Amino acid sequence: MKNTYKDAGVDVLEGQRAVNMMKKHIDKTLSKNVLRGIGGFSGLFELDLEGIKKPVLVSGTDGVGTKLKIAFMMDKHDTIGIDCVAMCVNDILCQGAKPLYFLDYIGTGNLKAPKVEKIVEGICTGCVEAGASLIGGETAEMPDFYQNEEYDLAGFTVGVVDKDKIITGEHIKDGDILIGIPSSGIHSNGYSLVRKVFFKDNNYDLNDYMDELGTTLGDELLKPTRIYAKECAKLFPKYDIKGVCHVTGGGFYENIPRIIPKGLGVRINKDFWSRPSIFNLIMRVGNISEKEMYSTFNMGIGMILVVNKEDSEKIVNELESYVIGQVVKGIDGVHIC
């Protein structure tokens, strides 16, 4: 009896079925800049540089991390792709870039076309929200490498910014204001600690309805990461945005200093915004210190802008956001009080 690729665990026909099922979702993301029908091994994107004198391409790549484990446990795969897009796109927004296109990578032990379609549906939802086109990707079936029902997910995005308008943080000065834009929840960082708190150290069930959350634990933990592209597109042309910080792994203490010039620090007042209940629950159930929480999670603030004091009130009135702190000379790092 002759062996086939399918005997080894790779179903080429199922892979093609997955591609066919994805197409209706991908089509929703495509802009006029995407060149289709020219070759089949790469994605082509024609740059529209109207209004950009010195175009600079800005790229970012990321994954979803162990939040994927929650998707596996719930067998719910239609939102995790939004997280993947968000983690990449929000990073390039920090340099003032406009997202152009996105590519994905899905590695799995056993390819199931309906599941892959759901993952890509989420990616496409995220791309539409970000204003980016999904122009390519890779789905790899690798039996014996992943558990049969598990997969990994990663993404890559490219945006463009005028060289003279790149946001670097170098002009941040003493007295500038930090404005926080709310997160949708935990986003996509800290899930190794989340899973330890709820499922290893305590016997919680994802289907448990939590009164303080107003939903089940599983639905709360799978809330997609917020994408800030529309908010940034609205603010960047109108205001002098000196610095942008995407609050991801490492929380406040690791991420904010990345954009603050040497010799300056920030003072943040945690009472200036309402902290989502999920963070209070994690802190209480896990017996976690407040400093550790702010070192790990976004604590309800997913994106931070540094702006001139005179612009801060106008921005807060224009956008759902909060003044959360100030840049201060003569202190180092982040001080939360």
pLDDT digits (tens, 9 = 90+) for 242-252: 999 999 999 99
User: For the residues 107-122, what does the mean pLDDT come to?
Assistant: 94
For residue 284, is it within any domain?
A: yes
Same structural domain, 145 and 249: no
What is the chain's mean pLDDT, rounded?
94
Q: pLDDT, tens digit, for every residue of 162-186?
A: 999 999 999 999 999 999 999 999 9
Same structural domain, 146 and 231: no
Q: Are strands 55-63 and 151-162 parallel, antiparallel or unpaired?
A: antiparallel
User: Are 302 and 182 within 8 A, CB to CB?
Assistant: yes
Same structural domain, 332 and 254: yes
Residues 6+ positions from 79 with CB-CB distance below 8 Å = 71, 122, 125, 222, 223, 224
Final residue in a domain of this structure, among 136, 165, 194: 165
Please give the Cα distance from 224 to 80 (Å, whole number): 7
Domain with 212, as residue range(s), is: 177-336
Same structural domain, 215 and 92: no
Which class for 73: exposed (0-12), middle (13-18), buried (19 or more C-beta within 10 A)?
A: middle
Q: Is the pLDDT reported for residue 16 higher than 90?
A: no
Same structural domain, 247 and 191: yes
Q: Tokens 């991801």 map to which residue?
A: 248
Q: Are strands 301-307 and 177-182 parallel, antiparallel or unpaired?
A: antiparallel
Final residue in a domain of this structure, among 118, 137, 165: 165
Which residue, 86, 162, 187, is CA-closest to 131? 86
Same structural domain, 140 and 190: no
Q: pLDDT, tens digit, for every residue of 134-168?
A: 999 999 999 989 987 899 999 999 999 999 999 99
For residue 235, is it within any domain?
A: yes
Same structural domain, 194 and 124: no
Same structural domain, 130 and 108: yes
Q: 49 versus 115: which is more confidently predicted?
A: 115
Structural domain total, the chain? 2
For residue 170, is it within any domain?
A: no
Measured at the alpha carbon of residue 139, what is the angle toward residues 5 and 1, in degrees to the nearest 5?
5
pLDDT of residue 60: 97
Same structural domain, 204 and 119: no
pLDDT of residue 96: 97
φ/ψ of 257, rounded to 5, equals -60, -20
Residues 6+ positions from 321 with CB-CB distance below 8 Å = 179, 180, 181, 182, 305, 315
For residue 317, is it within any domain?
A: yes
Same structural domain, 246 and 133: no
Same structural domain, 57 and 104: yes
The least confident of 15-29, 36-50, 227-241 is: 36-50
Tokens for 34? Answer: 């995407």
For residue 171, is it within any domain?
A: no
Please give the Cα distance from 223 to 3 (Å, whole number): 44
Q: Is the pLDDT reported for residue 39 higher than 90?
A: no
Centroid of chain to Cα 314 = 26
Please give the Cα distance from 182 to 90 (Å, whole number): 13
Q: Is the pLDDT reported for residue 1 higher than 70?
A: no
Same structural domain, 198 and 330: yes
Q: What is the CATH number of the domain that holds 235?
A: 3.90.650.10
> Residue 286 carries which side chain, given as an amino acid letter?
G
